[in-house]
Amino acid sequence: MPFFSYRARNKAGTLVTGSVEAATRATAETNLDKMGLIPISVKPTKKAIKLPDINLLLQTITPQDTILFSRQLATLFTAGVPLTRALFTLETQMVNKRLSNIIKTIREDVEGGSTFANALKRHPKVFDETYYSMVEAGEAGGILDNILDRLAAMKEKVQEINSKVKSATLYPKIVVGAIIAATIFLMWFVVPKFATLYANFNVPLPLPTRILIALSNLFTSYWYLAVIAVIAPIIAFKLYVKTTPGRHNWDKFKLTIPIFGPLSQKVTMSRFARIFGSLYKSGLPILQSLDIVSRVVDNRLISKAIKDIETDIKGGKSLSDLMERSRLFPPMVVQMARVGEETGALDEMLEKVAQYYDQEVDSTVRNLTTTLEPVLLTVIFGMVLFLALAIFLPMWDIVSIVKR
């Protein structure tokens, strides 16, 4: 895109010079006007050669950046600022330069005649299908400011739940990591010294000691096999999960895992109810809303059930009856959907479902550490007991021999 050098005056009448990037001279003059400058002369100039910005290459767009963009855009749009001017304002104010460049592209597309939703579609990694579909409905219904507010609130809640789950699982991850590090240290440095000591006394070793020494010898002599044994299953699992049957089976298993299974179901139900309710409230038809939800719900098993409901509902069947028949939706979700259908307030009932499961997720997350502590303590106690028996039992035998 070419650069244009300009001479202009600001609101105080001071002469200002510089350069601006724009597709055409007219666009450059428009941009100067948005910046509060009165153009005197605007001439094309050669684009300066710039080295790539390392910080820009390393910068990522987080959900928080998208939330901030949605919230600020909704505020500006509600205040009566035209869409293109609001986008230009955010483009210049965004701290995240990568997102700023994307906003710039979106603004230029809108100025070129594209709808806001279609401009967002060109950046699916930043604005997912739920986002631009709700924006499309907001544009059609003239309620874009409400839609942007709703999107920001929805994304904030999803981000809050994800953060709570990560925080709750941090303690178990640290404990497991510490156990693995301690095991490697013992196998590599401590056990070989004890094995040498016991070998000098030439006494029969108890079974736990023989097992520990054998594991240590295997680890020190064939450590690369141990690394392969750890890495290979992880790679195989990731490749398997990328396949359709693998992802389906893994998502099915996630719902049945002790402790984490109920949490996974509650998070999925909250996401389903919130997105479905928001789409439906935005004015999208129920079939289109179900189609979008089936693609954004992070569980293939439930996603398939939603697709089946979408197919069967075309025949005039009840949404709640189809949800009940799938046996993947809890009775409370089914009953609230039934009440919503009967009263014509499906979106409100789904919002109540989302709020209920948000509270359930909060409660489960708060109790997660307490629930996992006995399991972790049992594992640690078992390891300590095994190591104590393996190391100290031969010592008692050695002491008995020395006393004789």
Who has greater pLDDT, 203 or 222? 222
Q: What is the average pLDDT across 218-247?
A: 87
| Mean pLDDT estimate for the chain | 82
The residue with greater pLDDT, 284 or 119, is: 119
Question: Cα–Cα distances in Å, from 313 out to 290, 310, 317, 378?
Answer: 10, 5, 5, 50
Work out the average pLDDT over 292-302.
Answer: 84
Q: What is the pLDDT of residues 344-360, one digit of tens each?
A: 888 889 989 988 988 88
Q: Does the reported pTM lie above 0.85?
A: no
| Structural tokens at position 376 | 């972790």
- Specify the residue for token string 């279609």: 118
pLDDT in tens, 2-49: 777 888 887 777 787 877 777 788 888 888 787 777 888 888 876 544
CATH assignment of 159-404, among 3.40.50.300, 1.20.81.30, 3.40.50.620, 3.40.50.720: 1.20.81.30
> Residue 102 is encoded by which pair of tokens?
């994307």
Angle at 390 between CA 187 and CA 189, to 5 degrees: 20
Contacts of 300 (CB under 8 A, 6+ apart): 244, 247, 248, 251
- Comparing 200 with 330, the larger pLDDT belongs to 330
Per-residue CA distances from 204 to 211, 393, 397 (Å): 13, 11, 9
Over residues 319-343, the mean pLDDT reads 91
The yes-or-no verdict on residue 386 having pLDDT over 70 is yes
Comparing 34-48, 285-299, 374-388, which segment has the lowest mean pLDDT?
34-48
